[in-house]
Amino acid sequence: MKKELAKTYDPKDIEERLYQKWMDKNYFHAKVDKSKKPFTIVIPPPNITGQLHMGHALDNTMQDIIIRLKRMQGYNTLWQPGTDHASIATEVKIIEQLRKEGIEKEDLGREGFLDRAWQWKEEYGGRIISQLKKLGSSCDWERERFTMDEGCSDAVLEVFVKLYEEGYIYKGSKIINWCPVCQTTISDAEVEHEEKAGHFWHIKYPIAGEDGFVEVATTRPETMLGDTAVAVHPEDERYQHLIGKKVILPLLNKEIPVIADTYVDKEFGTGVVKITPAHDPNDFEVGKRHNLPEINVMNNDATINENGGKYAGMDRYEARKQMVRDLEELGLLVKVKDHVHNVGMHDRCNTTVEPLVKQQWFVKMDELIKPAVEAVKSGEIQFVPERFDKIYFNWTDNIRDWCISRQLWWGHRIPAYYCDGCGEIIIAKEEPSRCTKCGHTTLRQDEDTLDTWFSSALWPFSTLGWPDKTEDLDYFYPTDVLVTGYDIIFFWVIRMVFSGYKQMGEKPFSKVLIHGLIRDSQGRKMSKSLGNGIDPLEIIDKYGADALRLSLVTGNAPGNDMRFYWERVEASRNFANKVWNASRFIMMNLEKADIGETIDEKLLTVADKWILSKANTLVKEATENLETFELGIAVQKIYDFIWEEFCDWYIEMVKPRLYSETDETKAAALWTLKHVLTISLKLLHPYMPFVTEEIFCTLQEMSGQNNEESIMISQWPVYNSNREYDKESEAVELIKEAVKGIRNVRTEMNVPPSRKATVIVVSDNDKIRDIFTESKVFFATLGYANEVLIQKDKAGIPEDAVSTVIPGAVIYIPFADLVDIEKEIERLTKEKQRLEGELKRVNGMLSNPNFVNKAPESKLAEERAKQEKYTDMMRQVTERLEQLSN
């Protein structure tokens, strides 16, 4: 029994079944095949704590579209999947889980905690992978990697040791981002800047040995305790006499110098800035230039330490309040001004981050970054869209050394070993048995772990087997395109670029496709606090993965944010239904005939050649758009072609031929339907893989043609530059113009589709008359005609005939064919009587002073709107009655 499509399209019935089929057939798996050109994408590895969100859905849909296109184009495609250990995020989750059990992290000790962490990874690590499969992601799951698996961990140690030996990694004291709750350094990627209402406290710093003071404004009075200077601009005439003198630091009563530095903005505030090198990154740089001491006044939990005098032990904000009170009592508080400013928050625990000077491990960036800059400047690596070059260069131009150590247990532990005997630091991949300097056997490994980005920076090559020289690495590297959001350029993309050049000697990828954020319908960023997040799995469950994918890409332009609308998902689901129903109709007709792979072109009609020309042009344009990553533009063209040209026009054009037992061109119509449907499904497949696979395979099976067993490994349509059907295309466009004109006339006159009429085409152009003669059968169907007359002049056309003008011709329809005059007069007379009653009522109300004076404005506006509407309707009805009476 031949397979057929179900009557209604149900994604739940096909998606899981088809995905399993693809997995069983091993379609996603890539092997080295030097006879084929490789095409590689590495997935931005989602966190093992992750739950699929709309950003993941967009990012992975875009990657899947590209990889499915390239697979069909004959490339040996590898979409390399994997997950990230996400040190901070995972550790936070595990600590939360432990606390519910009444256990603190320290109770377990490091090894016990790590056992729990690996259990967590086994239990939750695969969750987001299974969700990506529901989305239809065609990754090579046999190659799935994890940033802490054996191979990736070996790569991390290899790079650390190598960079240390070459002088790029060092341990030193610098300003870092410190989270007082998680008690670890965090990267810039984990700091979210939020606008918060705060204050500027204006404080007097007395001048040592003189009467008078300088006025300093600060948003963080508690950091005064660590001030080691105040600074003025060297060209600020107001303060020239103070440079080199000293001021008294309030509350601690110690002298600090007045220094001159161009960092100070003369126009901002008072022109005098407090310098706190241990608690501000800009002050840190100023401090280095002037050899100022760095005084840290905070403990790891953001309480004030012993350097804070009487405020020691207080929480930072408690100390701030007390210090402000004390300054006021001393007469040193000038004023307090409201001030909105950006405050850095840790995105995991929503705690205000403290810039602190701490001894950490750093990567020296000034030399490493140079090849990464040159790669983008020369075009060896290209951003799509190009404007993101500026953001990239803004970051590389202001590069700082990269803090890579984290005070966490989950992650890659830093391979640094300290000798208790002589204090030597030994860097090694394997734990040494003795000190290389003094021979002492008691060694302690550094407690810190590496920043998560250190391992993910190696992702494009560590996943392919590096540091070993594998066949996969040689064949699939460098990768082709990286797809990622604009919010992660600095933190991941740049690190992969410089790591690729440093470790592999070449770029990690050729192109970086940047997408924006998915915002809610009001344009707001989706967040837990706003409660406006959308669960992609909920959409998949309700509408199917294809509908979600199409709605994410429709209207999407590289680099731009887009808004999420449920209506768009429903429209995408409706489109899937449209494709399904049209395919069922075509297949039902194909069952009645034996159609081969080719057709005699002499049998093709104008309509056939028109749709073939349109499909051929679509192949060219959609492929070009896809190749340049204009995924939204390509899919809009595919969508419009399938819905309008193919379904709404061509299928309707060929119905008379399909229903005829004598039409000699019926086989040509069926061949064209099948051929164009196949092209349409292939072009649509990267966007909507499931519905296209089900229809394509059913079509292949019912046709007895199994040369392409799955659409995902079928051949991508190729533009035929030799096909010359443009003339026919112009002819059908003229017919469409005529049909649209007829439909507009009938709509204006409220003529039901069931009422047929004589349609007369008048043109003195022989070519135009020939077009309508050749297309008479389908023109009659589309134009609701019971008869089509084609003539050179207006002879015999009734004077009351209505008309519509098209290029080179006029279409006439006898008035009497459209309207039963007596019945229409009767209907319009009744309508006139109804409108007279409505107008009498509304005019009476609006001429009644009691009503006008007492009624609310909204009610008056409503009645005036009715009066205007009924007056206009009465005018139209009266005019129509006069026409009919004449």
The label of the residue with tokens 């161009």 reads 262
* CA gap 61, 540 in Å, rounded: 13
The label of the residue with tokens 């996943």 reads 463
With contact defined as beta carbons under 8 Å apart, do 225 and 252 qualify? yes
Strands 169-179 and 809-813: unpaired
Highest average pLDDT, of 48-62, 74-88, 846-860, comes from 74-88
CATH 1.10.3470 fits 822-885, yes or no: no
Residues in contact with 123: Cβ distance below 8 Å, sequence separation at least 6, in sequence order:
none
One-letter amino acid for residue 581 of the chain: N
* CA gap 79, 143 in Å, rounded: 9
Percentage of the chain modeled with pLDDT above 90: 68
Tokens found for residue 352: 């205000």
Please state the φ and ψ torsions of residue 191, each to the nearest 5 degrees.
-100, 120
- Of 812, 788, 787, the C-alpha closest to 802 is 812
Q: Looking at 67-76, 119-128, 295-304, 459-468, which range is the least confident one? A: 119-128
> Is the entire prediction scored with pTM above 0.85?
yes
The label of the residue with tokens 């840190």 reads 284
With contact defined as beta carbons under 8 Å apart, do 10 and 50 qualify? no
Please state the φ and ψ torsions of residue 649, each to the nearest 5 degrees.
-110, -60
Residues in contact with 369: Cβ distance below 8 Å, sequence separation at least 6, in sequence order:
396, 399, 494, 498
* CA gap 782, 772 in Å, rounded: 13
pLDDT at 529 over 70: no
pLDDT at 488 over 80: no
pLDDT at 232 over 90: yes
pLDDT at 2 over 70: no
pLDDT at 24 over 50: yes
* CA gap 334, 343 in Å, rounded: 24
**Homologous superfamily of 184-355:** Valyl/Leucyl/Isoleucyl-tRNA synthetase, editing domain (3.90.740.10)
One-letter amino acid for residue 190 of the chain: E
pLDDT tens per residue across span 384-426? 999 999 999 998 998 889 999 999 999 999 999 999 889 899 9
**Stretch (H or E) spanning 682:** helix 666-684
Task: Give the residue-averaged pLDDT of 762-768.
Answer: 91
The label of the residue with tokens 């500027």 reads 200
pLDDT at 52 over 90: no
Highest average pLDDT, of 66-80, 330-344, 798-812, comes from 66-80
* CA gap 247, 219 in Å, rounded: 20
pLDDT at 706 over 70: no
* CA gap 676, 615 in Å, rounded: 7
How remote is the C-alpha of 223 from its chain's centroid? 40
Check whether the bond before 277 is cis (ω within 30° of 0).
no
Sorting pLDDT into bands at 50, 70 and 90, what band is 883?
A: confident
Task: Cite the residue boundaries of each domain of the chain with CATH code 1.10.287.
Answer: 822-885
- For every residue of 432-495, DSSP letters joined together read -SS-TTT----EEE-S-EE-HHHHHTTHHHHTTTTTS--HHHHHH-SEEEEEEEGGGIIIIIHH
Percentage of the chain modeled with pLDDT above 70: 99
Check whether the bond before 385 is cis (ω within 30° of 0).
yes
Q: CA-based Rg of the chain, rounded to a whole angstrom?
A: 37
Sorting pLDDT into bands at 50, 70 and 90, what band is 1?
A: very low
* CA gap 326, 303 in Å, rounded: 18
With contact defined as beta carbons under 8 Å apart, do 818 and 884 qualify? no
DSSP 8-state class, residue 78: E
3-class DSSP assignment, residue 859:
helix
- Of 154, 164, 91, the C-alpha closest to 417 is 164
pLDDT tens per residue across span 311-364? 999 999 999 999 999 999 999 999 999 888 788 888 778 788 999 999 999 999
Q: What is the 3-state secondary structure (H, E, C) of 646-662?
A: HHHHHHHHHHHHHCCCC
With contact defined as beta carbons under 8 Å apart, do 54 and 539 qualify? no
pLDDT at 726 over 90: no
Mean pLDDT for all residues in the chain: 92
Highest average pLDDT, of 236-240, 628-632, 798-802, 836-840, comes from 628-632
**Homologous superfamily of 560-724:** Isoleucyl-tRNA Synthetase; Domain 1 (1.10.730.10)
Task: Cite the residue boundaries of each domain of the chain with CATH code 3.90.740.10.
Answer: 184-355
Instruction: Please state at what angle helix 545-553 crosses helix 536-543, rounded to 10 degrees.
Output: 120
Tokens found for residue 722: 């030799």
Instruction: Characterize 233-250 residue by residue with b for buried, 16 or more Cβ atoms within 10 angstroms of its Cβ, and e for exposed.
Output: beebeebeebeeebbbbb
Within a 13 Å sphere around the CA of 203, how many CA atoms are in the beta-carbon half? 28
CATH 2.40.170 fits 728-818, yes or no: no
Tokens found for residue 48: 């093992």
Question: Any known ligand binding at 637?
Answer: no
* CA gap 812, 815 in Å, rounded: 9
Tokens found for residue 884: 């009919």
One-letter amino acid for residue 568 of the chain: R
